[in-house]
Amino acid sequence: MEQVDFLDLIRSKNHEGRSQLQVPSTSHIETTEGTTILALRYKGGVMVAGDRRATMGNVVVYDRADKVLAVDDSSVLALAGSPANAYEIARTLEISFQHHRRSQLHEMSLDGKLRTLSRLLRENIPMALQGIGAVIPIFATFDNQSEASKIYFYDVLGAQFESVDFCTTGSGSPTIRGALYYHNRWGGQPTPEMEEPEAIGLTLRMLETAAEYDTATGGHKPTTDVFPQVLCVTQTGVSTISESELESHYQNHLRQQ
């Protein structure tokens, strides 16, 4: 039997993302996916947010999906891609952090956290290659050594990159990535100089913009009060922006425009 090198397998992928090798077809499987997640640096730390919509093809499956999860006291994982695989990766990551803390009596190092997530994504490669289980997360954490909150994003193969000011991924990300770049360079106050209220307002506007141009991203619904998830990673830990505070931002800054 002819041996196939892994890199050759990757190169054999055509432009539609389907393997040219003879592998079992999974094109008949409809998977739940669709999202926009983003992280940006503000004056107090890092803000991570995501919409709540989950889709299957052109069908909205659920409008209250949790895509931004705290995995320990100082780290947040935002998930884009297949929820089934993403949630399993998040649960495994949280358990790994807990096990290290309990067995070693101290928190896992930043490098250890980054490598653990990379390994979990590499283990998911077979599902990603079949086109039914890709996961592309954003990871935000507070680094005790540098005393700063940091943003990291990953590709499907588990390669990890640090983002300086902002990061966004998911189906609606192309729309708002350019908007965030424009804002930070020419739009007045860059996000790292913003106080928390201003950062929340910008984050909500970005998610609403993504929802306007991407059907897989859910916008705010006044009739049902479904709000995005917004979490902050600061020196004091992970905190969640309450729905009442988000409602106030929508009332004062978004609905009237």
Q: Over 113-156, what HEC string results?
A: HHHHHHHHHHHCHHHHHCCCCCECCEEEEEECCCCEEEEEEECC
Does the pTM surpass 0.95? The reply is: no
Is position 36 annotated as part of the catalytic site?
Answer: no
Pick the CATH number of 30-252 from 3.60.20.10, 3.30.559.10, 3.40.50.720, 3.90.320.10: 3.60.20.10
- pLDDT-based confidence at 138, cuts 50/70/90? very high
| Domain-wise residue ranges, the chain | 30-252
255 vs 239, higher pLDDT? 239
pLDDT for the residue 169: 94
Token representation of residue 99:
């096990």
Share above pLDDT 90 across residues of the chain, in percent, rounded to a whole number: 70
Token representation of residue 164:
């300086």
pLDDT for the residue 7: 42
As a dihedral over the C-alpha atoms of residue 37, residue 40, residue 46, residue 51, rounded to 10 degrees, the angle is -20
Cα 104 vs. chain centroid, distance in angstroms? 29
- pLDDT-based confidence at 14, cuts 50/70/90? very low
The separation between the first and the last C-alpha atoms of the chain, rounded to the nearest angstrom, is 64
Residue 251 has pLDDT above 50, yes or no: yes
The catalytic residue among 35, 36, 175, 203 is 35
Rounded Cα distance, 93 and 81, in Å: 17
Question: What is the per-residue pLDDT across 46-87, written as a single tens digit (0 to 9) for each?
Answer: 999 999 998 887 888 888 999 999 999 999 999 998 888 999
